[in-house]
Structure 1
Amino acid sequence: MFDDLALFVSIVDHGSLQAAARHANLPAATLTRRLQKLEATLGCQLLLRSARSLKPTPEGLLYYEQCRPLLTALTQATATLDDDLNQVKGTLRVLAPLNLSRGLLGPAYASFMAAWPEIRLELSLSNRNEDVWRHGADLAIRVGQQDDPKLRQRRLGVIGIVLVASPTYLAEHGVPAHPHELEAHRLLVASPISTWRFTSPDGKETIEMQPQGQCDVNDIELAASLAEAGQGLLYCPRTLCHAALEAGRLVRVLPEWRTPQRTIYAVWPQQQLPRKVRALLEHLAEFAAANPLLQDGPELPA
């Protein structure tokens, strides 16, 4: 009925069926049939038609005057929505892990902002999984298994978990040769990774432990600093300690034992993604695909 109403308004605006038909790129006979259908639905005649003239009936004029502003407003709203869905500009709200964003993903956000200067990127960072719906977020970066069926998701990459310590600590306390020996060491435990899991090189033995650390902390970055300072062994994401490993400030412990990998996902609530969200999603996916730290390695899936 909306299309028929739009055609009726167009007929009145153009002053004739033929002019409205040319504007709509439709045969005049088609407009006539659809006008008759609209009149039958409404139960009244809308136009007085003769060989030389066409004008609204009193009912048709009233209907035209009431409907035309509504039709214009609806057309403008549709155009605004289309613009919002198809333009890479405006505010983009993203929830993301604090440590991952401050470290590994920082350059990805910077290059995205450089590529799309009309985007206002609103990053809300937390190491907890904040509620996407409550925060009105367009996109969220999550680590680990995602079980919310209301959220759509895309796998971006994986983060390997490694056991590390400083050379100073190992020189003073010795190098463990088996996970069972960890109980005799000073351990740094950082949430949310409270369970440590190791699988032997041949895959025949798996050891899972929930250690009581000399220090339990809810910030992995601080725990990594304590490990560099020689305060104990730390089980942490490879993305967080790779610079210290490359510089020799930390070294791998039990490197032959396989450890879990935690998958990184982008998740979002909308069924139809606005173009600005798709742009960020593709940018993050390309960044992750080009980063060796986010690729599958010898570690086990988490």
Structure 2
Amino acid sequence: MLDDLALFVSIVESGSLSAAARKAGMPAATLTRRLQRLEAELGCRLLHRSARQLVPSSEGWQYYERCRPLLASLQQATEALDVSLNHVAGKVRVLAPVTLASGVLQPAWAGFMQRYPDISLDLQLSNQREDLIGSGADLAIRVGPLPDSQLNQRLLGRAPTVLVAAPSYLAQHGWPQLPQDLAAHALLLAEPLMEWRLQHRSSGEWVQLPPPAQTRLRVNEIKLAVDLACDGLGILYCPLSQAHQALADGRLQRVLPEWRGDARDIYAVWPQQRLLPARVRALLDYLIDFTAGHPLFSGEAP
């Protein structure tokens, strides 16, 4: 009915059925049938037609005056929505873990904003898994299992985990030779990595170590745990992405290098019921390209 209403407004403004038919790109007979259908649905005659003229009835004028501004408003809303969905501009609000967003993903945010200068990026960082739908955010970065079926998801990569300690700690307390030897060492626990899973590179054997009853440190911020490990306080199980720089410059060393830690999946997620505007799709595509082939998202520690 909405299309027929738009045709009726076009007929009135064009002054004739033939002119309105040419404007709509359809045969005059088709336009006439659709006008008759609209009149039948409304139960009144909208136009007085003769061989020489076409004049709206009183009901037709009333209907035209009320419907014309509604159609104009709808057209403006449609055009605004089209710009929002298809133009790479505006605000993109993202939820992400603190250490991941401010660490290995930092160049991604900078590169994305340089590529798209008309986008405003709103990063909400928290190590707690916030409610994406309730927050109104466009996109979230999640690490680990995704139990929420209301979210679309795209795997960005897998974050390998490693055991590390400072050279000063290992010089003083010795090197563990087996996972079981860790129980005799000072251990630093960084949430959410409370259970340490290790796999032997050659045999494929898995060992899962439950959280020890006593630890030297427990903290819910991985970057701080890495810094304290660098200070020689103990052995830490953490994502390679958080320790790679300290390993590269020698402040940390790999412990039990013949064992590899469990890799954790990293996802981009967004609500199922929402269409992805162009600005959000642009960020998602940028993150996919950024993580593809990146060694810290490969799932395998060297």
- Whether the TM-score (by the shorter chain) exceeds 0.5 is yes
> Does the residue aligned with 2:266 lie in a helix, a strand or coil?
strand
CA distances 1:12-33 after superposition (whole Å, capped 9, x unpaired): 0111111111111111111000
Cα deviation for residue 156 of structure 1 reads 0.3
Distance 1:209 1:5, change over 3 A: same
Letter in 2 for 1:187: L
CA distance, structure 1, for counterparts of residue 16 and residue 68 of structure 2: 17
Cα deviation for residue 119 of structure 1 reads 0.6
CA contact (8 A) 2:154 2:267 kept: yes
CA distance, structure 2, for counterparts of residue 290 and residue 258 of structure 1: 20
> Does the residue aligned with 2:259 lie in a helix, a strand or coil?
coil
Aligned residue runs from structure 1 range 208-247, under 5 A: 208-211=209-212, 212-247=214-249
Q: Which residue of 2 aligns with 1:206?
A: 207
Q: Which residue of 2 aligns with 1:3?
A: 3
Q: Which residue of 2 aligns with 1:165?
A: 165
CA distances 1:259-296 after superposition (whole Å, capped 9, x unpaired): 20001100001442111000000000000014111113
Q: How many residues align?
A: 299
CA distance, structure 1, for counterparts of residue 115 and residue 204 of structure 2: 45
Measured on the aligned residues, the alpha-carbon RMSD in Å equals 1.2
Q: Which residue of 2 aligns with 1:105?
A: 105
Q: Which residue of 2 aligns with 1:154?
A: 154
CA contact (8 A) 2:188 2:217 kept: yes
Percent of pairs identical after alignment?
57
Q: Which residue of 2 aligns with 1:285?
A: 288
Q: Which residue of 1 aligns with 2:260?
A: 258
TM-score by length of 1: 0.96
Cα deviation for residue 298 of structure 1 reads 6.2
> Does the residue aligned with 2:146 lie in a helix, a strand or coil?
coil
Q: Which residue of 2 aligns with 1:22?
A: 22
CA distance, structure 1, for counterparts of residue 208 and residue 293 of structure 2: 33
TM-score by length of 2: 0.96
CA distance, structure 2, for counterparts of residue 268 and residue 227 of structure 1: 35
CA distance, structure 1, for counterparts of residue 216 and residue 18 of structure 2: 86
CA distance, structure 1, for counterparts of residue 180 and residue 210 of structure 2: 9
Aligned residue runs from structure 1 range 112-127, under 5 A: 112-127=112-127
> Does the residue aligned with 1:175 lie in a helix, a strand or coil?
coil
